[in-house]
Structure 1
Amino acid sequence: MMESGKDNGTKLTGQRRVGLLYDERMCKHENLHDGYHPETPNRIRSIWNKLQSTGITQRCVILDAKEAEDKHILSVHSKKHVNFIKKISSESDSRRLKTASKFDSIYFNEGSSEAAYLAAGSAIEVVERVASREFNSAFAIVRPPGHHAERDEPMGFCLFNNVAIAATYLLEERPELGIKKILIVDWDIHHGNGTQKMFWNDSRVLFFSVHRHEFGSFYPASDDGFYTMVGEGAGAGYNINVPWENGRCGDADYFAVWDHILLPVAKEFNPDMIIVSAGFDAAIGDPLGGCRVSPFGYSVLLKKLMNFAEGRIALILEGGYNLDSIAKSTHACVEVLLEDEPIVGSSEAYPFESTWRVIQAVRQELSCFWPTLANELPQKLISQIAPPPHTLISSSDSETEDDKGRQNSDLAELLQDVIKPLSELKVDAVAMATGNAKMARLMAHFFPSEDSDDDTTATPSVEPMPDAVGEGIRQVIDEGDEQPQPSAEALLQNLAVDEAGQGQGVGFEDDPELTIVTNPKKRKTTPGSSKTLTVMEKNFDAGYFIDSQLLLGTEEFFREEDLAAQVRWTYRSLLRAAAIVRKMELVLAQSQLAEGKLRASQKDISKLKAQEELLKARLAEEEKKAEESATKINYLVDRDLSLSSQLNSAQGRATVAEAKVKELEEKLAEVTKSAEAAKQEALALKKKNKEIVRDARGVVKATEERIKAQVFLLAPDLDTSMIGAFKMIQDGKIVDILRQ
């Protein structure tokens, strides 16, 4: 087990603090059915062995690998995909094999699930350590790679998209770390289609990919990697593709892209952190990439990136299939991470013309999003170009001056290979080998040595004659090859293919003696009577297989008077053979291009079929929803009718109630009127009652006065009873009695 967070006994003062993550468990993912599969466990083993052998691991902090949690993987992948990868290793081998065949460039075994979870978790681990400033930078040496994996599908050796999972983790799960903008640089030779799609609408992530594209014919063989794919919505302008038109791109091409596209945009974007999808299949010698980036080149590319985000960079391994190249390139990058010093070295090469063309197209496409790209590049700069990349398969049969120059250069090299062994022959050795004394005399006569005299019958010299032979052949070629050579098209038009298999040939107009036949075993010419270039027709990748033998005559071929013609014919034959081979290469290239387009078309058809099935499913779902809606509408209509009926009934009852209310109001008015009359009558009675009371009081008072008067008059004669009555009168009680 690795010692997480420990310095392995080495002090890290005076240099940047760098984390390294490697775990042997990721080697359990292996193709057991193809021992030569390029995505092999030895990829990361070779890297680790290189770092250990140079002692660089002692200068870093070695981190433990951790398996990713499902919730973090689900931030970019569907639940169906996560469950599929989790369970695939528990399936039987035959079932895994059958399942893998349904995907594009994928294999599974018992260790695939664990390795995929470790790779994703390790990516999270290193970016989190760097984002938290625990480390200045880090490198995760992981597999399987991830940048091709899409939301619902593994592809291109990739199971989970490690970089996308790690970037999303920082943005969504760890906002307290302050990482709000991330630059993802994908320098793998293949386009990072999966990563692109996962951040297609996201302005928080600037995704940059430089890759071989070749107009959609290079893996993953789609238009997704073209420079017009710039993102949508909020992410418009935050997706940058630099698609190479050809292979063999090297340091100078990548430096130009960095200086004139990536670095200006990165400065304007100002990322908080950089994550590199570090695929090394653009390295020299990679069997899949076909490019020429050196370890020095990778170190320069990384060093340029360290000027941003305070040097907070995490590299996560992607592709790279040459074990020596991937180990050296990784080592060069880790050295850059450790030493904050200028890189020693230089590159005197220039980019290809196609590189400048792509750079200009990308700048123009993105200039509306990034004003720093709006200015045109100086003509003096873009005129500094390297010769076109040389490939065995030509993409054109154009006969321009450049093509002729390259063809003549190749033929010159070929002729040197022919001349050199001839020039080193001894004349007597030639005679001994052929048993032909006349031939030796002819050679000595035509290519005299410094020791020989003008007598052609003298004994041939046994010393080598390189200068004489070489100059003699060149002189013959120069003197006898003044007429223009036929083009590849003309040569093929003159090539007769005898479908009946009779071996009849057709000559060339400029050399009637040259016969090309399709069946050398049935040729009508005898070995010594004429010169025959045999072409064996075979079905091989839509082209032809050229038999390299030039069937020449023996003694008659070297007749003294025809020797110069024979040399000229040999040279022209080489030209014709080269033209035919070139045409065959063209046919093969066109076939491969057609095959690539066919594969792309088949993939598009598959996608269209999948989309058709999806649309059918959606249509069925919409029809079901429509049916449910119709049912709801019918229910609502019935309910509306019922409510209308109830409303009408309620309106009828309301009318009746209104009539009753009116009737009651009328009765209430009558009652109110009667009550008012009764009130008036009561008031009248009350008034009358008051008058009666007043009159009674008057009578009582008058009576009281009379009684008082009489009492005073009769006072002397009153007895006790009368005195009591008098007191009653005095007390007013009599009044109360009278009132009653």
Structure 2
Amino acid sequence: MLKHQCVCGNAHIHPEHAGRVQSIWSRLQETGLLGRCERIRGRKASLDEIQSVHSEFHTLLYGTSPLNRHKLDHKKLLGPISQKMYAVLPCGGIGVDSDTVWNEMHSSAAVRMAVGSVIELAFRVAAGELKNGFAVVRPPGHHAEESTAMGFCFFNSVAITAKLLQQKLGVGKILIVDWDIHHGNGTQQAFYSDPNVLYISLHRYDNGNFFPGSGAPEEVGSGFGQLTQLLMGLAGGRVVMALEGGHDLTAICDASEACVSALLGDTCDSIFQWPQEKPCPKACASLERVIEIQSKHWSCLQNLPQTSGHSLLDGPLGAQGQSEKDEAETVSAMASLSVDVEQPGSVPDNSESSRSGVHCGDHLIASL
């Protein structure tokens, strides 16, 4: 995955670069978190696995390289390879668009390794071999649609993994929480009509003016550690996290450290450091719009007290009892999404399943 880089050789001008995973790995080592985790070996996803979400044309287009094409059916390759179009980047390199770089010799192996590593980790968690895990992989995937690469993404690792959990392990219900700043249009597309997968995207929308322009409230189909802890209350704690976006190295290292620490059961710092600070008015307006739309589908959002514009200290004390009731209903509703996999038997606390898994370099899914 480290070799997926622009042929111009200048990683500093490309926000999605190998330093992202290298920096996270170094931070986990420096803090001692890595030593408390089970390290697992990644693998490349097969072309068949990738086609659980992507078209055959798209899979062959980005899943093959000059080194392995001779092993494949040349008749199938004629279309994708003949139509492989690149954009010339300002740096002199090539990409599938103005910011999604492509390296003909190394990118296909990297994107397949990213997908395969997420699959491998998720299957081990679903099988009870690991309690939870964090896949430190690149390139990301949540913008990749069935037949379209965009936004640094070629194959949708999380969507492919969820599809395979359904198809091969018979997982009945899956919750995907995506808190990248951008809407995961590819993941939404993959499961928009699937009643057994709930996809929740927390993203910046700006009335469609922020990339990728999708993710409106009507599409109903800092606190990283705290959110991870909350998610661990669902699906028996079987949480699989996969690195998606984030291009400020300090920020993604801080976020990854907090998430892995939470997966290991460490206590997180309080998120209520500024209890008197009120939310941004535009954020409140977005939240109220989301509640208006989603309350048609979630009874726990109906009859909520009007507190979205209040600070933590200014919130009406009279609403505390109702808030606790609403919170209990929400947890109960989302708990029904627990991964439904029949386990062969109970696993003792001192077994491998009590450990967290981390993969670098090569149910419940949270996209970071």
For the superposition of Structure 1 and Structure 2, which TM-score range results when normalised by the shorter chain? 0.7 to 0.9
| Residues 38-59 of structure 1, C-alpha deviations (whole Å, 9 max, x = no match) | 0010000000011111221110
Secondary structure at the residue paired with 2:208? Answer: coil
Aligned equivalents of 2:305, 2:5: Cα separation in 1: 47
Aligned equivalents of 2:200, 2:151: Cα separation in 1: 19
Of residues 161, 165, 178 in structure 1, which corresponds to 2:160? 165
C-alpha deviation, 1:83, in angstroms: 0.4
C-alpha deviation, 1:376, in angstroms: 3.3
Counterpart in 2 of 1:59? 36
The structure number with the bigger radius of gyration is 1
C-alpha deviation, 1:115, in angstroms: 0.5
Of residues 10, 15, 32 in structure 1, which corresponds to 2:7? 32
Aligned equivalents of 1:86, 1:96: Cα separation in 2: 15
Counterpart in 2 of 1:78? 55
Of residues 188, 209, 214 in structure 1, which corresponds to 2:201? 209
- 8 Å CA contact 2:42, 2:116 repeated in 1: yes
Superposition TM-score, scaled by structure 2 size: 0.74
Counterpart in 2 of 1:694? none
C-alpha deviation, 1:87, in angstroms: 2.8
C-alpha deviation, 1:350, in angstroms: 3.0
- 8 Å CA contact 1:66, 1:118 repeated in 2: yes
Counterpart in 2 of 1:103? 97
Secondary structure at the residue paired with 2:6? Answer: coil
Counterpart in 2 of 1:377? 305
| Residues 44-76 of structure 1, C-alpha deviations (whole Å, 9 max, x = no match) | 000001111122111000010111111111110
| Amino acid paired to 2:32 | G
| Amino acid paired to 1:106 | T
The answer to whether 1:227 aligns with 2:222 is no
Aligned equivalents of 2:220, 2:293: Cα separation in 1: 8
Aligned equivalents of 2:96, 2:267: Cα separation in 1: 49
- 8 Å CA contact 1:213, 1:225 repeated in 2: yes
Aligned equivalents of 1:88, 1:149: Cα separation in 2: 19
1:414-493 alignment, distance < 5 Å: none
| Residues 474-533 of structure 1, C-alpha deviations (whole Å, 9 max, x = no match) | xxxxxxxxxxxxxxxxxxxxxxxxxxxxxxxxxxxxxxxxxxxxxxxxxxxxxxxxxxxx
The answer to whether 1:48 aligns with 2:28 is no
Counterpart in 2 of 1:174? 169
Secondary structure at the residue paired with 2:166? Answer: helix
1:362/1:229 CA distance change after superposition, 3 Å: same
Aligned equivalents of 1:352, 1:46: Cα separation in 2: 32
- 8 Å CA contact 1:87, 1:113 repeated in 2: yes
- 8 Å CA contact 2:158, 2:187 repeated in 1: yes
Stretches of structure 2 that go unaligned for 5 or more consecutive residues are: 68-80, 313-368
Q: How many residues align?
A: 288
1:359-374 alignment, distance < 5 Å: 359-374=287-302
Aligned equivalents of 2:126, 2:36: Cα separation in 1: 20
Stretches of structure 1 that go unaligned for 5 or more consecutive residues are: 1-25, 232-292, 387-740
- 8 Å CA contact 2:278, 2:309 repeated in 1: no
- 8 Å CA contact 1:88, 1:108 repeated in 2: no
Aligned equivalents of 2:66, 2:278: Cα separation in 1: 48
Aligned equivalents of 1:225, 1:112: Cα separation in 2: 28
C-alpha deviation, 1:377, in angstroms: 2.7
- 8 Å CA contact 2:176, 2:200 repeated in 1: yes
1:245-264 alignment, distance < 5 Å: none
Q: Which runs of 4+ in 1 moved over 4 A?
A: 88-91, 94-102, 340-345
Aligned equivalents of 1:214, 1:385: Cα separation in 2: 23
C-alpha deviation, 1:180, in angstroms: 0.8
Aligned equivalents of 2:101, 2:66: Cα separation in 1: 11
C-alpha deviation, 1:340, in angstroms: 5.4
C-alpha deviation, 1:129, in angstroms: 1.0
Q: Percent identity?
A: 39
| Residues 524-576 of structure 1, C-alpha deviations (whole Å, 9 max, x = no match) | xxxxxxxxxxxxxxxxxxxxxxxxxxxxxxxxxxxxxxxxxxxxxxxxxxxxx
Aligned equivalents of 2:271, 2:216: Cα separation in 1: 33
- 8 Å CA contact 2:47, 2:63 repeated in 1: no
Counterpart in 2 of 1:150? 145
Aligned equivalents of 1:308, 1:42: Cα separation in 2: 33
More helix by share: 1
Counterpart in 2 of 1:264? none
| Amino acid paired to 1:45 | Q
